[in-house]
Structure 1
Amino acid sequence: MNETSIYDVAVIGGGHNGLTCACYLAKAGLRVVVLERRHIVGGAVCTEDDLIPGYKIDVGSSAHIMIHLTPVVRELELEKFGLEYIDCDPFAFAPVGEGEAVYFWRDVERTCESIARFNPTDADAYRRFVREWGEFNEGVFEAFLKPPTMLNLGRHMIFRRTKTKTDPAEMTRKIFAPYGQIARETFQHEGLRAALVWLAAQSGPPPTMAATGDFLGWHSMIHRSGVKRPRGGSGALTQALAKCLEHHGGEVRVSAEVERIDVNNNRAAGITLVGGEKIAARRIISNAHVQTTFLKLISAENLPGNLAARVRAVRVGNGFGMIVRCAVAELPDYRAAPSGGRASDCHQGLQLLCPSTEYLERAYADYLRGRPSEKPAALAMTFSAVDPTLAPAGRHTLFIWGQYYPYQLANNESWDDIAGREADKLINVVNEYAPNVRASILDRFIQTPLDLERRLGLLRGNVMHVEMDIDQMFLYRPLPELATYRTPIENLYLTGASTHPGGGVFAASGRNTAHVVLADVNSRSVAGWLRRGFARKQRA
């Protein structure tokens, strides 16, 4: 085969981590191609304009938070490729009682003022909470931006010096406690507890699960990152990444579904697309789900040792959420923040609709029985209030995420049969807080856990790929032998939400993987240079 027809790197999957990884590699001078199964790049960070005519509808993540704690946007100069972020401040709003609400602003003191209106003691507690957990999570985040080796975890998380006089033993206890318990210990007002607990639940684990304390503590970092939206929809990020990749000489191919990764003698040798086309590449990076990568794209006989069994045992879970994307005539008119359906502070960011921790726990109990929650917790988002390009003039978008919803249902029910019923139920929850919502809906697009799997390749509807439990995080995500992005198959790498640091609009995994690949490329180049030098010396 002609050397010019061989890519240095082929990336399977055009999600934001795959594209991020590809951009760094192309920027470093490698010849890179990204292969995307769908007709559009983005994966779970994608916006489409043909789902509801006249509206731009996200099909995956909508709020961009953690990527703003990374240097990705700056390092890849994504503004040059059309990316413009809108700051949503306040970043969250939550009704906390009859006619009362809390607003979470980027500014901690302004947030404390909001809390003090209904509980001054909790305002002081919140200030301490943000300071204590924020300092701890600075170290966690530094660890997120590197491969999860014992050295990196120890340096940034375990042996890191802190400014505040936090008792290390007490902090360790909080980390290993359930986040619902930490909320009860820290705050008095149940409405405030519920808002923070519901935000912590977005990664899946319930408030009663052990070793989830930092799911609550992570809230402190949003005061640093904010909640932001790309103008034009969530997919504007991945569109900018694709343009960045092409600018640096990389290629993006859509409607290019991978049938298999070709492996010879435990070495990834290339890719075969559906239809038979062969793609030759020196290195292959899979941005697909870990189980898709190793149980579908690679033949079992090509997996070393007991890798197939270990990958099969990775806990994907049973889904946990669904979303209804609505076109609406007006914005929610919340009882706790009357606005007449017009844009107000409450519509800027995340609208947290969960009255109590017990309410969320009951929703999870329904889920454990294989049933959709009778009373789901709802997270409403109305980003057309800050970005008019998403909807026709005078109209708006309303996205409603709810938990908990199992992928595999009890009682022989089918998601295709009950999707409408469950969408109505979720809309009714929002309508209890904003009575104009149900009547304002013009059209809707429903995504059940099954729909998330079908459209986006999110197995069993888990938007985090695999469960975010402590034994599947850091150097155990998804398995120790896959945690640092290299795999037991030579020249094959794994990136994306299946790997450290996990799901969400983050891009850290893609960036980390690129650095690992470049280190391997450079070490091999040095080794080759030394071998050639030694051979010349021997001939002399």
Structure 2
Amino acid sequence: MKLLRRSPASFTPCLDGRSLLLGPDAELNSSEIAKFSKKDAMAYPRYEEQLLKFCKFMDSLLDSYTPEIKRDAHSLMDKVKDKFEKSAFWSHLLQQALTLGQKDMLDFIDLLVSPAAKVLNNWFEASVYTPGSGYVLLHHVMGETDGERGIWSYVEGGMGSVSLALSNAACEAGAHIITNAEVAQVLVDENTGSATGVILENGREVRSSILLSNATPYKTFMELVPSGILPEEFLQAIKNCDYSSATTKINIAADKLPQFCCCATDTDEPGPQHVGTIHIGSESMEEIDLAYRDALNGLPSRRPLIEMTIPSVLDTTISPPGKHVINLFIQYTPFKLTEGSWEVPAIRESFAKRCFSLIDEYSPGFSSSIIAYDMLTPPDLERVIGLTGGNIFHGSMNLDSLFLMRPVKGWSDYRTPLKGLYLCGSGAHPGGGVMGAPGRNAASVVLQDHGSLSKTI
């Protein structure tokens, strides 16, 4: 699997002719931010340094399974071992907190619980209501490639290359993978109350004493596990999780690159503005807030927030010469509309054209460059991919849905009330994102419970 580094990481064009490029290059960041505020350009390195401290603090939490209370510790030895492991975890966390120091720890808590606008206002003089200063300041520092912070990458061949690399590694280790085989139901032994395998949609049974589900918590427990098996209290908690989503994905085939008004150029060749994530409609926090409020009222945003990426700029394997693949990640689109339905072609087409027209304001002629497009609204994401509510993270990433509360209180350690069934997807700690942490952590728990495994699915 080949990673293609994106630098700069983000680009925000403005209608007033200015623009903002951000990435791992400190000098570039300084000169770009100085176009809006020289004082902010000086403050930004310190802001970024603090974020990096916080990222390092979070790393150990992301890469470890949670210190959940063990439910099957019956012997005195098991109970002592469990208490020792929990004490070691919290002791290590406390040591890290002490390393941060009281001021940084308070700032970290403030970052977690405060609105982004408040955090940004504490650091920068340019109001978050002025062009280019709002949405992207928190964006690029979270990326990491080969251990380097602030580096985002495309995967050559598209994101399917990640799945292919994982499957190749699994097969080399002796795994047998069945594809194009949808699971209809989890099999449960009536005598032992344990999972014994799955039934596929075609009726075939696949037997195993250990199951790991990468589906959402709702789909796993409410749809795949037979009724009457799981405790009602647990099911109620799963049902009450926040699966709401307001994102739509549009994949575009285009016959040329978008050229932005704020980047005067006499060539059609790719520039730094095409490499990273391009933010459209994010010139101010006020603009973002208005788009969000539309969705709260059951309306697709009148001026949606659009994240555009053009992976074909770096990855020549995914499009013919001179053509490009353009991906739009769009907010905000409610799952249910107050008027009409996403199933109505005219409503879908109207919203797509609204997005294209907004991009035209920054890049005239963009709409006319579109050869074809594919649109996935929240209901499409649920129907096609199985994402409950269309939520790409398998559930809310709010503070009340993270760590010991993910997916629900008391069941954060990948184990479930059904013996032999584990949760290994984004609905488990630490949540969504292309990082593999939930699966890796879940595998560690399975190995802890069962030792060396010969048969799993």
CA distance in 2, matches of 1:488, 1:499: 14
In the alignment, does 2:289 pair up with 1:289? no
Aligned to 2:77: none
In the alignment, does 2:442 pair up with 1:505? no
What's the offset of the Cα at 1:433?
0.9
Aligned to 1:48: none
SS at match of 2:208: strand
Query: Partner letter of residue 395 of structure 1?
Result: K
SS at match of 2:410: helix
CA distance in 2, matches of 1:524, 1:321: 39
Residues 200-247 of structure 1: per-residue CA shift (max 9 Å, x gap)? 8xxxxxxxxxxxxxxx4x753337051101111111111111111111
Aligned to 2:237: 310
Query: Partner letter of residue 324 of structure 2?
Result: H
Aligned to 1:387: 315
SS at match of 1:253: coil
Contact 1:129-1:220 at 8 Å conserved across structures: no
Contact 1:465-1:497 at 8 Å conserved across structures: yes
Give the % identical residues: 28
Residues 47-88 of structure 1: per-residue CA shift (max 9 Å, x gap)? xxxxxxxxxxxxxxxxxxxxxxxxxxxxxxxxxxxx111001
Residues 393-423 of structure 1: per-residue CA shift (max 9 Å, x gap)? 1111111111000011112433433111111
Contact 1:258-1:271 at 8 Å conserved across structures: yes
Contact 1:321-1:403 at 8 Å conserved across structures: yes
* Runs of 5+ consecutive residues of structure 2 not aligned to the other structure: 69-85
What's the offset of the Cα at 1:514?
0.8
Q: 2:334 aligns with which of 401, 406, 409?
A: 406
Contact 2:395-2:427 at 8 Å conserved across structures: yes
CA distance in 2, matches of 1:334, 1:483: 46
Contact 2:307-2:330 at 8 Å conserved across structures: yes
Find runs of 4+ consecutive structure 1 residues off by over 6 angstroms.
191-194
Q: 1:126 aligns with which of 41, 44, 51?
A: 44
Query: Partner letter of residue 48 of structure 2?
Result: V
In the alignment, does 2:156 pair up with 1:248? no
Aligned to 1:322: 248
CA distance in 1, matches of 2:451, 2:432: 29
Q: 1:443 aligns with which of 372, 377, 381?
A: 372
Contact 2:133-2:283 at 8 Å conserved across structures: no
CA distance in 1, matches of 2:411, 2:133: 33
Q: 1:233 aligns with which of 150, 158, 163?
A: 158
CA distance in 1, matches of 2:319, 2:45: 38
Contact 1:370-1:410 at 8 Å conserved across structures: yes
CA distance in 1, matches of 2:141, 2:91: 22
What's the offset of the Cα at 1:426?
0.8
* Runs of 5+ consecutive residues of structure 1 not aligned to the other structure: 1-82, 201-215, 526-540
CA distance in 1, matches of 2:400, 2:308: 31
Change in 2 beyond 3 A, CA 1:194/1:285: farther
CA distance in 2, matches of 1:112, 1:192: 20
What's the offset of the Cα at 1:462?
1.0
CA distance in 1, matches of 2:359, 2:91: 44
CA distance in 2, matches of 1:158, 1:408: 46
What's the offset of the Cα at 1:345?
0.4
In the alignment, does 2:271 pair up with 1:344? yes
Aligned to 2:410: 481
CA distance in 2, matches of 1:246, 1:289: 25
What's the offset of the Cα at 1:321?
0.9
CA distance in 1, matches of 2:93, 2:363: 44
Change in 2 beyond 3 A, CA 1:517/1:197: farther
Change in 2 beyond 3 A, CA 1:481/1:523: farther
CA distance in 2, matches of 1:345, 1:257: 42
The two structures have a TM-score, normalised by structure 2, of: 0.87
In the alignment, does 2:258 pair up with 1:332? yes
Aligned to 1:140: 58
Q: 2:300 aligns with which of 372, 384, 400?
A: 372
Contact 2:185-2:224 at 8 Å conserved across structures: yes
The two structures have a TM-score, normalised by structure 1, of: 0.74
Contact 1:370-1:409 at 8 Å conserved across structures: yes
Alignment of 1:12-161 (within 5 A): 83-96=1-14, 98-149=16-67, 151=86, 152=89, 155-156=92-93, 159-161=96-98
In the alignment, does 2:444 pair up with 1:515? yes
- Pick which of 116-125 and 132-141 moved more: 116-125
- Pick which of 410-419 and 326-335 moved more: 410-419
Contact 1:106-1:222 at 8 Å conserved across structures: no
SS at match of 1:229: strand
In the alignment, does 2:186 pair up with 1:258? no
CA distance in 1, matches of 2:151, 2:130: 20
CA distance in 1, matches of 2:204, 2:91: 45
